[in-house]
Amino acid sequence: MALLLHEYAIFLVLGAMAITILHSLMKPKCRPPGPPGIPVLGNLHKLKNDFRYRYIKDISKTYGDVTFFYNPAMSVLVLSSYRSMQDLLGNRGSIYSDRPGSSIVEMSGGGNTLKSATPNFYLLIRMGIKSLLSETFGPTWKLERKLFHQHMNKGAVAQYWPIVEQEAHRCLRSLHRDPDNWRDALRLNTVRVILGITYDIRDTEALDDELRAAISLILLDTYGSIQRTVKSIPRWVPWLGSEIKLLAAWGKEDRVAISKPFNYVKSQKNAGTAKPSFALNLLEEGGTDERTMTWLSASMYAGGADTTSTMLHAFVLAMLLYPEVQRKAQDEIERVVGSDRLPGMHDRDSLPYVENLIKELVRWWLVSPVALVHRLTEDDEYKGYFIPKGTVVIPCIWCISRDEEMYPDPEAFRPERFDEPNADGHFPLDPHQFSFGIGRRICPGQDFADMVLFANITLLLATTTFSKALDSQGNEITPTRDPTPPYGWERRFLDNQPLSLTLLASRIPCLFNCRIKVRPAAALLTIDNQTDEE
Ligand code: HEM
């Protein structure tokens, strides 16, 4: 009898286990929550919103920090908290670091297919269907990333300080000479710095005509032909068609502009006259083919020029809207540096208010509010939800920057917030932790961008005071703090806004004017005949 009972118990346990396994196999796997959609067609269309990041912030109040969107072709996971981004992009980086169709080289336009030519979200979504067939987070990306890291890590970028400083001085002289063109001066500055460190091209006068033409194209507009191409697209062509045409036509002229400077470094190397530069290092270290080296060099200004200059434009906007911040930062610089020299890199630790100002800028103005999309390479489970392989992941870093608990009154530009503990006793998170992305695909140019921002912001503050422009009655004009609608290339073209592939996916300030007052310290700006124009 005892034996029978024992067998009966074993039978019951095994039966229960079988039922549990069967049940879990048959139960539809639960996806993370998301807004209701149209039957069969799904809810992905809801993300089609000019200010997508604001929409994401709104819906996260209802659905939480992990929201799911789908249509029959693809699924998209939207992350809206630092925690979820850390958990997935950070801690599970080995499966969350792919991108739809893009190694660094491909993202800069060096791939063979249109899908890789732009970080534009919608194009990525459309092309994502195709790119699901290919794996891109592989050995090529790892090698590119390694090469980038060797030259752009925190220690390595310090060697570029002299170029960054010299170009900042040159930019300020030009800005003071021609204040109406302050915007161009700031943009030219970042492109010149990047050309300097990438190819050691500083003085265009010394170059032959063809190379000079290629460089002017880069200086004027990283992807200059876009403007001309947009003009040639008939207005009635549907949006997708026109964008595909735009990208198809993009390339020929720019590919020349991209290969010329690289070939210049190659010939300098062969002649034994090349000076240190990113491109020279790639050539010397080898390890990859020439096409990759050419495009990797180009990705320096594709990724870095417009993003960094946009931050400088946003800095000017912040100074117009918050003159008291400008005054406080100028006072600190005067106090620490004195009046017989200009601030330099070694002053950084002694300028805490300026340091906080840069943190606040990096939080307040996100060039990439949804960073760049990632893609999941294996099925995964998070917080009990199933996330299928191939899901496109959007890290909405904007939501972190506008987290009211972490950054009370988040729209206000308040550098002092970083010295004030929050209700939980902790100081707010340094925005550098998320504004450049999170995880293995974090911006490789972050340390360099930070150095360029520090150099330019301290020198701008020391030598220049920005204030609001006046209308014909002498009243101050307050510029809008709203950006131009993202991805609105057509509108940007019509408004004569700068256009480049990077900017198609960026958040940039609307055009605004300002008044510029030169401060006495401007007399200390160096005059360097070799790099000064005219
Ligand atoms: C203030 C300036 C900049 C901002 C705000 C910025 C922001 C970003 C962000 C948010 C990403 C996506 C990260 C992710 O997917 O998680 C990114 C990627 C990238 N950035 Fe930057 N960036 C800046 C400057 C630069 C500079 C100066 C360079 C190069 C010199 C650069 C090169 C790149 C490249 C190559 C990638 C792609 C990395 C990859 O896919 O693995 N960026 N950046």
pLDDT tens for residues 463-473? 999 999 999 99
- Quote the pLDDT of residue 172: 96
Residue 85 reports pLDDT greater than 90: yes
Cβ contact 390:75 at 8 Å: yes
Torsion angle, alpha carbons of 155, 160, 164, 166, to 10: 140
User: Which residues are annotated binding-site positions?
Assistant: 443
Residue 519 reports pLDDT greater than 70: yes
> Mean pLDDT, to the nearest integer, of 283-302?
83
Atom of ligand 1 nearest to the CA of 108: 35
- Quote the pLDDT of residue 6: 63
Q: What is the DSSP string of 461-510?
A: HHHEEEEE-B-TTSPBPPPP-PBPPTT-HHHHHHTT----HHHHTS--BP
Angle, helices 290-321/352-364, rounded to nearest 10 degrees: 110
Residue 26 reports pLDDT greater than 50: no
Measured by CA distance, the residue closest to atom 25 of ligand 1 is 304
- Quote the pLDDT of residue 232: 46
Q: Which range is least confidently modeled, 115-124, 294-303, 396-405, 436-445?
A: 115-124
Structure token pair of residue 197: 């460190």
Pocket test for ligand 1, best of 443, 452, 456 (most atoms within 8 A of CB): 443
Could you give the CA distance from residue 458 to residue 345 in angstroms, rounded to a whole number? 10
Spell out which residues line ligand 1, taking CB within 6 angstroms: 104, 107, 145, 299-300, 303-304, 307-308, 311, 367-368, 371-372, 435-439, 441-445, 448-449
- Quote the pLDDT of residue 127: 35
Element (H, E) at 394: strand 392-395
CA end-to-end span of the chain: 106
Which distant-in-sequence residues (6+ apart) come within 8 Å of 215 by Cβ?
Answer: 195, 201, 204, 207, 257, 260, 261
Identify the residue with better confidence: 358 or 256: 358
Could you give the CA distance from residue 260 to residue 207 in angstroms, rounded to a whole number? 11
CA of 103 to the centre of ligand 1 (A): 13
CA of 374 to the centre of ligand 1 (A): 13
pLDDT interval class at 373 (50, 70, 90): confident
Measured by CA distance, the residue closest to atom 19 of ligand 1 is 443
pLDDT tens for residues 308-347? 999 999 999 999 999 999 999 999 999 999 999 999 999 9
3-state secondary structure of 242: helix
Measured by CA distance, the residue closest to atom 14 of ligand 1 is 437
- Quote the pLDDT of residue 376: 93
- Quote the pLDDT of residue 496: 46
CA of 512 to the centre of ligand 1 (A): 26
pLDDT interval class at 103 (50, 70, 90): very low
Measured by CA distance, the residue closest to atom 32 of ligand 1 is 303
> Mean pLDDT, to the nearest integer, of 125-153?
62
Residue 259 reports pLDDT greater than 70: yes
CA of 198 to the centre of ligand 1 (A): 16
Structure token pair of residue 103: 């190694």
CA proximity to 177, closest of 530, 531, 529, 525: 525
Atom of ligand 1 nearest to the CA of 439: 16
Could you give the CA distance from residue 451 to residue 461 in angstroms, rounded to a whole number? 15
Structure token pair of residue 343: 């601030």
- Quote the pLDDT of residue 19: 53
Q: Residue 426 burial (CB < 10 Å; 0-12/13-18/19+)?
A: exposed
Measured by CA distance, the residue closest to atom 21 of ligand 1 is 443
Residue 217 reports pLDDT greater than 60: yes
CA-to-CA dists, residue 428 to 372, 413, 417, 508, angstroms: 24, 14, 7, 25
Angle, alpha carbons 341-318-496 (nearest 5°): 105
Pocket test for ligand 1, best of 222, 436, 441 (most atoms within 8 A of CB): 436
CA of 468 to the centre of ligand 1 (A): 31
pLDDT interval class at 16 (50, 70, 90): low
Element (H, E) at 95: helix 93-96
Measured by CA distance, the residue closest to atom 3 of ligand 1 is 307
- Quote the pLDDT of residue 382: 97
pLDDT interval class at 188 (50, 70, 90): confident
pLDDT interval class at 287 (50, 70, 90): confident
Residue 460 reports pLDDT greater than 50: yes
**What's the mean per-residue pLDDT of the chain?**
80
**Alpha helices by DSSP H, 322-445:** 323-337, 352-364, 397-401
Quote the ipTM score.
0.98
User: Which residues are annotated binding-site positions for heme?
Assistant: 443
3-state secondary structure of 29: coil
pLDDT interval class at 36 (50, 70, 90): very high
Residue 488 reports pLDDT greater than 50: no
Prediction pTM value: 0.84
Measured by CA distance, the residue closest to atom 24 of ligand 1 is 304
